[in-house]
Each structure stands twice: as C-alpha cells, then as structure tokens.
Amino acid sequence: MAISAKAGADDAGASMAINFRLGTRGSPLALTQAAMVRDALCAAHGWAAETVALVVIRTTGDRVQDRPLAEIGGKALWTKELDRALLEEEIDAAVHSMKDVETIRPAAIRIAAMLPRADVRDRLIGADTVAALPAGAVVGTSSPRRRAQLLRLRPDLSVVTFRGNVDTRLAKLAAGEAQATLLAAAGLDRLGRDGVGRPIATDDMLPAPAQGAVGIEVRHADHRAALIVAAIDDPATSACVAAERALLAHLGADCHSPVAALAALSGAMLTLRAELIAEDGSAWVEGSGEGTDGALVAAELAADLLARAPAVVRQLFQP
C-alpha cells in the first residue's frame, strides 16, 4: 500500500509515493537509528530517502521519566505503542534498540532483521575506571544489571536512579546529581559522542543481552514487509542476539533480573557468555557455552547457570 507525501522544498508541487513506513520512538537516539534503517533500505532497494517515512510514536517509557522501568511496567513501556501502531497497520515496521525489547513478543509480530551490531560495551562517564571512583561515590543508572555489576565491583558505591535519554542523563551528571554514570557505547557513538566516557572491557563488565543491536519488527503475516526488511539483515548479529534472547527466555528473566550476556560467532561456532548477579552484587554465577545451534547453547547454559546459582540469585529468575 502506498500513500502520498510531499517530495520536498525543491519540488513543492510534486508528490512522491511512500514505499515504506518505519515506526520509531521520538528520542534523538531512536530517530538516529530509524534513519540508519531508512538509509539501509534505500541503499538495498534503490529508493529515494523521501519514499521511506519515519513515523514517530510516543511511548509510555518516554513520558514517564521519574521512576525505574521495573516499577511501572518494564520494557513493554518502550514497545506497546509501537506494537499497537504496527498491528493496526499505521506503520509497516518498527525500529527498536533490541536490548529494550521484552523477550516474549506478541505472536502476530516478528523480528525480521537487524543492522550490523555496534560496540557492545558500556562507557563509564565521570571517572577513568570503576576502581578510580572515590570511596562512597554516587553513580547514576536505572539498569538493574549495571547496578548489580557496580556493587559487585565496588560495594561501597551509592547507586541512584538515572532515567531519560542520553542528553538528560549527561545533564543530570553535569548538575551534580551523581559523580558518574554508565551509558551504552553504541548509543553514544550513534549520536556523535564517541569521545564521551571510557569504555569498560567486556571481561570486566559483560553487557546487557542484545546491547548495541538495532532490530526491525514487522507483522508476522506481512510477507511484503518481511522481504523488504530481510534485504538489510546482518546474519551474524541476528544469530548472536537470538541466542542472547533465548537465554533470557530460558532463565525466565524480566526487567528486574540482573543478567548480562554476550554471544560471538567464529565461522559456524557460536560462543555465549553470561552472568547472573544478586541485586546488591553480593553473589553471582557465571558461565559460557558453545556450539553450532545457538538456541541449544542458550538452553544448556541457562540450565547450568540456574543449577549453580546461589539461592539469592536463583530467586530472581522464573524459568
């Protein structure tokens, strides 16, 4: 289905058919990522940029900024309005930061493609390293995973809630609400902030599952949209993120669960590392697995981690 749109200021009297409508949140990072998807689609299909519309959908997660996501509905706050727009055919596809997408998705929606994954690491802003933070330093983050990892490394830290987009969090830091914060390197890079903060090695702080990945969802029955989007899929990213998300599903993890995971491909061999951590960082379990079937690797690793996890950690998961 095509709709009409103005071609632009240089040809104000003309109209150009819209080939595809991409739904996105309205934050600067979300719009940047949606533009990346638009540009990739145009390159793959030979379309003009004006023929792919970016449709901004305001989400509850964008509106409510004063409480942790886990207290007000979790990751669905980023997706439910986009899901509604997709299912009601207001858009042809939805663009997501995959780490913000809940593990169990509606049956009528499917992940159709992912862009090549960016830097998966976190960046520490406010100090060179976690070890270099002053005793009792205040660190802002809204992520249960980052909170638990920080307290595992530095039990003396005071971790306070930081929510909002990148600029909002940096402004809170500049205003003295905390002495440091953590942000995803991928988001900073996509916003042209590649010089902000110090990257933390994944051996020191494993990232969130699907961190750094941009995914595109379509209606399950919309074969035209699926074919269009499949042209820009990065198979390695899709395989790794699928394994990380499968791990979450087998763990029964939700937005309250401090879990970190990272998959990597070497030829056909997939390696998956993960760790589960108590909320206060006082206990944890970590492990890895490998194989050619990412779903099986995820299932076996989840079972192994839960079998070895201390009770205080195991109770955070509901397989």
Q: How far apart are CA 212 and CA 118, in angstroms?
A: 5
Tens digit of each residue's pLDDT (9 = 90 or more) over 166-197: 889 999 999 999 999 999 999 999 999 988 99
Q: What is the pLDDT of residue 225?
A: 98
- Give the residue among 234, 240, 238 at the shortest CA–CA distance from 290: 240
Burial label, 140 (beta-carbon count in 10 A; 0-12, 13-18, 19+): buried
- Residue 79: pLDDT band (50, 70, 90) is confident
* Position 2 pLDDT exceeds 90: no
Q: Do domains 3-115+212-233 and 122-199 have the same CATH topology?
A: yes
For the question of residue 100 being annotated catalytic, the response is: yes
Per-residue model confidence (pLDDT) at position 6: 32
Per-residue confidence (pLDDT) for residue 8, from 0 to 100? 36
pLDDT single digits (tens) 40-68: 999 999 999 999 999 999 866 555 454 55
List of long-range contacts for 8-16, beta carbons under 8 Å, 24+ apart: 8/50, 16/48, 16/50, 16/51
Output the CA torsion sign for 192, 141, 205, 293. Answer: negative
Q: Mean pLDDT across the stretch 91-110?
A: 95
Q: Does domain 122-199 have CATH number 3.40.190.10?
A: yes
Query: CB–CB of 287/206 below 8 Å?
Result: no
With residue 6 as reference, give the H or E element that holds it: strand 3-6
How many residues make up the chain in this entry? Answer: 319
Q: Are the CB atoms for 40 and 74 separated by under 8 Å?
A: no
pLDDT for res 75: 52
Quick: pLDDT tens for 276-312. Answer: 999 999 999 999 999 999 999 999 999 999 999 999 9
Residue ranges per domain, the chain?
3-115+212-233, 122-199, 244-314
What pTM, to 2 d.p., does this model score?
Answer: 0.89
* Contact criterion met (CB below 8 Å) for 122 and 184: yes
Fold type of domain 3-115+212-233: D-Maltodextrin-Binding Protein; domain 2 (3.40.190)
* Percent of the chain predicted with pLDDT > 70: 89
Which CATH fold topology does 244-314 show? Double Stranded RNA Binding Domain (3.30.160)
Q: List the single range of 10-19, 94-103, 186-195, 222-231 with lowest mean pLDDT.
A: 10-19
pLDDT at 74: 46
Confirm if 162 and 140 have CB atoms less than 8 A apart. Answer: yes
Kindly tell me the burial class for residue 252, based on how many C-beta atoms sit within 10 Å of its own C-beta (0-12, 13-18, 19 or more): middle
- Return the higher-pLDDT residue of 209 and 166: 209
Q: 25: pLDDT confidence band, cut at 50, 70 and 90?
A: very high
Q: How many CA atoms lie within 13 A of 188 on its CB side?
A: 21
Give the chain's end-to-end CA distance (angstroms, integer).
42
> 308-319 pLDDT, tens per residue?
999 999 999 986
**pLDDT at residue 151 greater than cutoff 50:** yes
Active-site position among 83, 92, 100, 122: 100
